[in-house]
Structure 1
Amino acid sequence: MKPQRKRLVARALGALVAGGLAWAALASGIQGETGGPAVAVADEAPGYAVEDFDYPQADKILAEQGIVLKRGDGHIVLADCASQTGLLEIYARSSDKVCFRVTGTSGYLTLEIPSVYAIKGNDYAAQVDMTVADEEQSYDIAKNTWTAVGESADEQGREFMLVEIRTSK
């Protein structure tokens, strides 16, 4: 065998032996420098992300605007009423006008806005659920027009709380 070929074969065998020793050390749990057993890096993969559908920064929004935003699918989000046209507008005695941007083909949001009396729809079909005492009332919101809800639609003039919005295209 030529000397150059002998060196190539020796290097290849050396690499195989070194790789085999490293594998054997990992498989047998030989302790590393830190004193713990050697662990393959693949065993330390990040955990799974689990969506809980809680509204992001809900505590901050409650503190700043007095609106309780609970859960949703991300297709109905709080928006600055002056930011664009085509927003879903909520009118309540307890706060200024509150607006929501709607995206996607459908959406839902659970929330709490007390004393809601009118809602202006947008391009989406929308339904809202409202409560007063232990009674629940649902309203269909007309597209791109005002709909009387809560106390303005109640014969007794009771103050209703908006608790859910559902939309579809």
Structure 2
Amino acid sequence: MKSRARIGTSWFKGRFLARTVAVAVAAGTLAAVVAAGGGDSAERGGTPVRAVADEAPGYAVEDFDYPQADKVLEEQGIVLKRGDGHIVLAACAPGTGQLEVYSREALSVCFEVTGDSGWLTMEIPSVYGVKTNEYATQVDLTVGEEETSVDVPANSWKAVGESADEQGRPHMLVELRTSK
């Protein structure tokens, strides 16, 4: 019995060794063909081979569109269009130094401001006030075809839009610009 087991084992070892040698020879042959170029592309019947590194990667182009603006419109009823990323919508939290916009329709809309300056275009209807943080803020509003720009000093509250309009017309906030 023991001799049979040895014969079986050595037979498997020999067969394994033969397969390993065959694979190694095939790999060596393939490597030699690749290193030699394998003939020109017409002989291979294919298209010319070119190095992948010759192709430059695509360019990333920033379009400044506000990310997930459609979700914000659905959830909060405001349109966030474009910006430089230094003014971003945030959940309102008292005492956090946020820029706050007050609207009869959207209630209170808060923004986090970073960097030395920032801009964001939007559509927030029926705006009546702005509370700034440590940034001086320029607020651009429209009512009909009329455009208004209001400067709001840093760390202050200012009536803008319909609360500052003699006729009390509903104003649309269309842009915020901040600077330190």
Q: Deviations over 1:63-118 (max 9, x none)?
A: 11111000000000001112861000000011121000110011000000000000
Which residue identity is paired with 2:49? A
For structure 2, list consecutive stretches of 5 or more residues without a partner in the other structure.
1-30
Q: Percent identity?
A: 67
Cα distance in 2 for partners of 1:115, 1:109 equals 18
Whether the 8 Å contact between 1:109 and 1:164 is mirrored in structure 2 is: yes
Change (3 A) 1:133 1:31: farther
1:70 aligned counterpart, secondary structure: strand
Whether the 8 Å contact between 1:131 and 1:163 is mirrored in structure 2 is: yes
Cα distance in 2 for partners of 1:31, 1:123 equals 72
Cα distance in 2 for partners of 1:152, 1:70 equals 25
Cα distance in 2 for partners of 1:106, 1:126 equals 9
More helix by share: 2
Change (3 A) 1:123 1:102: same
Cα distance in 2 for partners of 1:109, 1:56 equals 12
Larger Rg: 2
Which residue identity is paired with 1:166? R
2:86 corresponds to which of 72, 75, 82 = 75
Equivalent position of 1:7 in the other structure:
none
TM-score by length of 1: 0.79
1:110 aligned counterpart, secondary structure: strand
Deviation at 1:29? 4.5
1:48 corresponds to which of 38, 59, 83 = 59
Deviation at 1:146? 1.1
For structure 1, list consecutive stretches of 5 or more residues without a partner in the other structure.
1-14
1:63 aligned counterpart, secondary structure: helix
The alignment yields a C-alpha RMSD, in angstroms, of 2.5
Aligned residues: 150
1:146 corresponds to which of 143, 157, 160 = 157
TM-score by length of 2: 0.75
Cα distance in 2 for partners of 1:100, 1:30 equals 63
Equivalent position of 2:4 in the other structure:
none
